[in-house]
Structure 1
Amino acid sequence: MRTTTCSRPPPPPPRSCRGRVAGVWGGATFDVSLRFLHECPWRRLERLRELVPNVPFQMLFRGANAVGYTSYPDNVVREFVAESVRCGVDIFRIFDSLNYVDNLLFGMDAVRDAGGVVEATLCYTGDLSDPRRSKYRLDYYLDLAEKLVNHGCHSLAIKDMAGLLKPRAATMLVGALRERFPDTVIHVHTHDSAGTGVATQLAAAAAGADMVDACIDSMSGLTSQPAMGAIVNALAGSELDTGINPDHLIPLSTYWEQTRELYAPFESNMKAVSSDVYVHEMPAGSHVSGPGRGVGQDLQGLRGANRALGDIVKVTPSSKVVGDLAQFMVQNGLDERTLVERAESLSFPSSVVEFMQGYLGRPSFGFPEPLRSRVLKGKHVIDGRPGASLGPMDLAGLEYRLKEKYGAQAIAPRDVLSAALYPKVFDEYMTHVLKYSDLIEKLPTRAFLTPMEEDEEVEFEIAKGVGANIKYKAVGELQPNGKREVFFEANGVPRVVEVTDKKAEQVLGRKAVRERADLAVLGSVGAPMAGTIIEVSVKPGTSVKPGQQLVVMNAMKMETAICAPVAGVITQVAVEVNDALDAGDLVVFIDTKAAGDVADQDPLSSGDSDDEDAPAPAEGKALAGAA
């Protein structure tokens, strides 16, 4: 849970907080709850509200994108905001991935109409303190802030999602905003990727910020926010004293340090601060990586992709666009010049095409030309706010279909909103709930994340006053059908169930240890990063062209299409849906000698995936990203 310290009292919030606000919901947490934890995000929010009744709750709200990765019809966004308020959200930090004003103003209106507190947001990128940078100067941020303040925001946030805000830049930006808007609450958010987060927040406070985001020490630093203990101690006894007793932070830090150990397997591989964030300017978790490429090549790919797109703001979902293009350029050996020169013959990632069409809105400095025209090849474009051109979604009809599929008792109105935002993820969530029930939410963290040891037992509450004790006893031999018997006790009663051993060689004839791609063979296509296969588009015998989609992976809340690097015939498909892969694991093998006429084409020519009449971007797949 992220908390916020206040250096001077803001206007009274909707709940008494004594200068503290809890950021607990929105952003990626909605998707993660459904997709990975198999929990209802609405129920999580309500439970938190019950346990924490007197602290204002803040959520991260992507404006016209709600908590998804694309634009939605206006009625979906408005209903989502209204339900969020009913479930306990007080303050909405409203941002847009391109700082597109029309999207921001729509989000502000939706929140205000629902009775929420409007915190309008400036997404920070570039380097304000470097006079050599021609874009994103002080006037840019002040002009944007002027529009948001004039539209009636309750507070103004600076969202430094990549940790680019240097202390001197914080002094300049916050100082200028404070001078221009003396009565507006200013709230600063940053990350500590480069190790300058504490200094930045101290500079922001000194320049006039009312609130700065921080994190309990044991959960702070690197991809997280700067350490609360450091900020509190640094300001103690000064005119900006936060009023927080540093001694009270120590037991909290100890608690979260112990809790963090449960999630150690899922930690970022970032072990130390890294100033290369000032080079690639991407938020934490957004990167391009893969077997056979060095860090320098990845950085140059990100820089080149960003420049080619016009140096756009990079935050979910626009960061996904930059990352996809960077990966595409690195994989195909393209630089900015050759990208533009060959654009008309290339099959670009769908996220890049849809960005150029205007599905995210309009970048602050316009679309890059002639790249845009050459990417679109005559496809339709959206002028203005994307949501305004989308007709209302039939939520009543969607509710009817969901009840027909899952049963009337299983679907509440909020589930309709979850399905509207994430149709595929919600379907997978409901399938899981129908198979295992929603009691999986009750499991202790370790039992949910890792296998139990022999004779280990766990206890959890099924309902108020009703508990369960599960004791794992043993597992049987592998059966010819690829299953094993698992023996356990439920409240002292012996039980046995059959489960499929997914790692066994006998299951579907696959090996427990995955085959690795051969980097020296162009047709040996490997996974560019660790992730899970969610779609397989080819089978053995399929003839493919360069750029044609082979599979789709889900990695770090982003869906990435792996495309054919060469023409040929698929002779081996080494994966299937739900397979978990490491970077470099073999995905498919393409026999280039059997390509025939296909092999005679330009090795980077447009493939079958370039559909002139492609529909609007679907959930996550085209416009997913990292916040």
Structure 2
Amino acid sequence: MTDLSTIPCAPAPATAQAGTFGLVDVTLRDAHQCLWSTRMTTETMAPILGAIDRVGYAYVNILGGAVFDVCVRYLHESPWQRVGLLCERLATPCDGLTRGQSLYTFELFPDDIVALNSQVLAALGLTVLTVYDALNDNRNIVSSVRSAHEAGMKVNAMLTYTLSPVHTDAYYVERAAELVALKADFISVKDPTGLLTPERGRTLFPALVAAAGGIPLQLHSHGQSGLAPEVYEAAMAAGFRLGHTAVTPLANGASLPAADDIDARARRMGLASGIDREALAEVSGYFDWVCERDDKPRGKVAAYDPALYEHQVPGGMISNLKSQLQTMNMSHRLPEILEEAAQVRRDLGYPILVSPFAQYIITQAVLNVVQGERYRTIPDEVRKYAMGYYGRLAAQPADVFLERARIRDDERVDEAPAAHLPPALPRLRAQLGASARDEDLLLAAFYSPELLAPLQKHAPACSFRTSPLHELIRYLGSHRDLKHARVRFGGTDVTLSG
């Protein structure tokens, strides 16, 4: 346990009106992950990159575990090519997220794979590596932090938020102290389900600012409860320096708050955001047009739902669960499964409902409901979690679960997960040959040859200009007097006599 008395405390901010509050854009990563099942293509992103640059974001988040995985499995795009292209085209510093020792998938990888991943991302132009561990076991991010710093990147280390009897303010202050000891450049509060409330923020946020010892804090809170904008205000008042947001068409609901909303709140509090509202409107207009063109859903402000604080299942996962239940003619059992998920989470010692443990808990809950008996069948991944295979648990699992899981004492794991993983690069280099690129070695570590085969195709050609139709829509939206106005779009001069 960390001795908190050795951690220097940052002075409390004199007033919320004395500083800045920058925005980190998640439109190209988490927003479409939540609302579009991570299906935004690089081709869709490319035309609006210039306008995104003009907005004045502190960072643009372009990469995460699901984005990387969907690129390979479903879009058949090289995630490395996407990262390289976005970093090259964006003057705004780019940020990428990994899941600690798991990187982009649910599997655990040895330290040499983690280190090579950091080297490749830095070479592609990434400025900040954001990293978190789903159990808040910070032993699982040590190799990421160390290798990112060695590669020349800054590190944004995340504390994943949840509600339980053991996840107290003191618990999070202790985890923050560990991140200070790791010399993180930023510390973030990651609230994947939108469980934070302004009341909790007013106790937790000042405590974290003090524990951070001057390290800038960021807030990443989803909008599933409808309370996120007020939570961001509590973070600003406590001295947080950055907030994660999305443009309006891809904001709110299961996504994150809208950038224009958070910017307006910051300005009312006297905080400088550096945001260019005209450029922000242009980006929002583009994605409005994409929603129309591709029949994609827009984010909507969520209504407050008390049940969220019981089951704690993220909105994107509920959407996927609904779809799967519908194919099995089991849609009517969704409330029963969500109620069972809350019980499973309690029995497992309050794991946080973020990948991969959200998937494990839902799987166990579905099995319990369908089989009509709790823990009649326990997946191997759930047993591994309870054994400590993925890291240190926040609380001991319930006796009723341990009895059904039949976990022997000699199966329990106390060491950090990476301690059990032999180096992988020697085997991969022998398998792929001396000419294999670092990017190819990593992809071979993550995926089978069958999944990688479609990536051998050339990347789609990207246009770095918005469409003629969008240019006209943008013009019409910014000019009230259209009599005899002339606008050039699609290579043609058009007279508007409105």
Give the TM-score, by structure 2 length: 0.75
Deviations 1:31-84 (A, max 9, x none): 0111111011001111111111x3111111211111221211111111111111
1:251 corresponds to which residue?
282
1:138 corresponds to which residue?
169
| In structure 2, C-alpha distance between the alignment counterparts of 1:191 and 1:389, rounded to whole Å | 34
2:29 corresponds to which residue?
none
| In structure 2, C-alpha distance between the alignment counterparts of 1:262 and 1:324, rounded to whole Å | 35
1:328 corresponds to which residue?
367
Q: 1:259 to 1:91 in 2, by over 3 A?
A: same
Q: For 1:93-492, list aligned pairs within 5 A.
A: 93-126=130-163, 134-236=165-267, 238-264=269-295, 267=297, 272-273=302-303, 275=305, 276-287=307-318, 288-289=321-322, 290=325, 291-292=329-330, 293-334=332-373, 339=374, 343=375, 346-369=376-399, 371-372=401-402, 374-378=404-408, 380-393=411-424, 395-402=425-432, 412-421=437-446, 423-424=447-448, 427-430=450-453, 432-433=454-455, 437-439=457-459, 441-442=460-461
Q: Quick one: which amino acid aligns to residue 314 of structure 1?
A: L
1:68 corresponds to which residue?
105
| In structure 2, C-alpha distance between the alignment counterparts of 1:330 and 1:388, rounded to whole Å | 36
Q: 1:104, CA displacement in angstroms? A: 2.8
Deviations 1:183-204 (A, max 9, x none): 1100000111121121111221
Superposed CA RMSD in Å reads 2.9
| Structure 2: runs of 5+ lacking an equivalent | 1-17, 23-52, 464-498
User: Contact (CA 8 Å) 1:324, 1:352: kept in 2 or not?
Assistant: no
Deviations 1:562-619 (A, max 9, x none): xxxxxxxxxxxxxxxxxxxxxxxxxxxxxxxxxxxxxxxxxxxxxxxxxxxxxxxxxx
Q: 1:227 to 1:270 in 2, by over 3 A?
A: closer
| In structure 1, C-alpha distance between the alignment counterparts of 2:166 and 2:412, rounded to whole Å | 25
Q: 1:433, CA displacement in angstroms? A: 4.4
2:15 corresponds to which residue?
none
Deviations 1:249-298 (A, max 9, x none): 22211101112334436x59999546232221122322444233334212
Q: When the two structures are aligned, how many residues end up with a matched partner? A: 407
Q: Quick one: which amino acid aligns to residue 171 of structure 1?
A: R
Query: Greater strand share, 1 or 2?
Result: 1
Q: Quick one: which amino acid aligns to residue 243 of structure 1?
A: G
Q: 1:69 to 1:82 in 2, by over 3 A?
A: same
Q: Specify which structure has the bigger relative contact order, considering alpha-carbon pairs within 8 angstroms and separated by 6 or more residues.
A: 2
Is 1:23–2:61 an aligned residue pair?
A: yes
2:127 corresponds to which residue?
90
Q: Quick one: which amino acid aligns to residue 442 of structure 2?
A: L
User: Contact (CA 8 Å) 2:122, 2:152: kept in 1 or not?
Assistant: yes
SS in 1 for 2:399: coil
Q: 1:384 to 1:369 in 2, by over 3 A?
A: farther
1:587 corresponds to which residue?
none
Q: 1:82 to 1:101 in 2, by over 3 A?
A: same
SS in 1 for 2:381: helix
| In structure 1, C-alpha distance between the alignment counterparts of 2:268 and 2:167, rounded to whole Å | 36
Q: 1:237 to 1:60 in 2, by over 3 A?
A: same
| In structure 1, C-alpha distance between the alignment counterparts of 2:284 and 2:313, rounded to whole Å | 28
Q: 1:206 to 1:350 in 2, by over 3 A?
A: same
Deviations 1:109-143 (A, max 9, x none): 232232221211110001xxxxxx63211111111
| In structure 2, C-alpha distance between the alignment counterparts of 1:271 and 1:258, rounded to whole Å | 20
2:33 corresponds to which residue?
none
User: Contact (CA 8 Å) 2:209, 2:239: kept in 1 or not?
Assistant: yes
Q: 1:428 to 1:243 in 2, by over 3 A?
A: closer
| In structure 2, C-alpha distance between the alignment counterparts of 1:173 and 1:438, rounded to whole Å | 48
Q: 1:179 to 1:397 in 2, by over 3 A?
A: closer
| In structure 2, C-alpha distance between the alignment counterparts of 1:429 and 1:263, rounded to whole Å | 27
| In structure 2, C-alpha distance between the alignment counterparts of 1:273 and 1:442, rounded to whole Å | 41
1:550 corresponds to which residue?
none
1:610 corresponds to which residue?
none
1:35 corresponds to which residue?
73
SS in 2 for 1:319: helix
User: Contact (CA 8 Å) 1:90, 1:116: kept in 2 or not?
Assistant: yes
Q: 1:157 to 1:7 in 2, by over 3 A?
A: farther
User: Contact (CA 8 Å) 2:236, 2:266: kept in 1 or not?
Assistant: no
User: Contact (CA 8 Å) 2:128, 2:153: kept in 1 or not?
Assistant: yes
Comparing 239-248 and 322-331, the one that deviates more: 239-248
Q: 1:104 to 1:255 in 2, by over 3 A?
A: same
Give the TM-score, by structure 1 length: 0.60
Q: 1:286 to 1:270 in 2, by over 3 A?
A: farther
Query: Greater helix share, 1 or 2?
Result: 2
SS in 2 for 1:442: coil
User: Contact (CA 8 Å) 1:9, 1:19: kept in 2 or not?
Assistant: no
Deviations 1:430-473 (A, max 9, x none): 1x245xx325x3389xxxxxxxxxxxxxxxxxxxxxxxxxxxxx
User: Contact (CA 8 Å) 1:167, 1:199: kept in 2 or not?
Assistant: yes
Q: 1:350, CA displacement in angstroms? A: 2.5
| In structure 1, C-alpha distance between the alignment counterparts of 2:135 and 2:179, rounded to whole Å | 15
User: Contact (CA 8 Å) 1:71, 1:359: kept in 2 or not?
Assistant: no
Q: 1:107, CA displacement in angstroms? A: 2.7
Q: 1:357 to 1:187 in 2, by over 3 A?
A: same
User: Contact (CA 8 Å) 2:252, 2:301: kept in 1 or not?
Assistant: no
Q: For 1:474-623, list aligned pairs within 5 A.
A: none
Q: 1:328 to 1:263 in 2, by over 3 A?
A: farther
SS in 2 for 1:311: coil
| In structure 2, C-alpha distance between the alignment counterparts of 1:392 and 1:242, rounded to whole Å | 44
Q: Quick one: which amino acid aligns to residue 74 of structure 1?
A: D
SS in 2 for 1:236: helix
1:468 corresponds to which residue?
none
SS in 2 for 1:153: coil
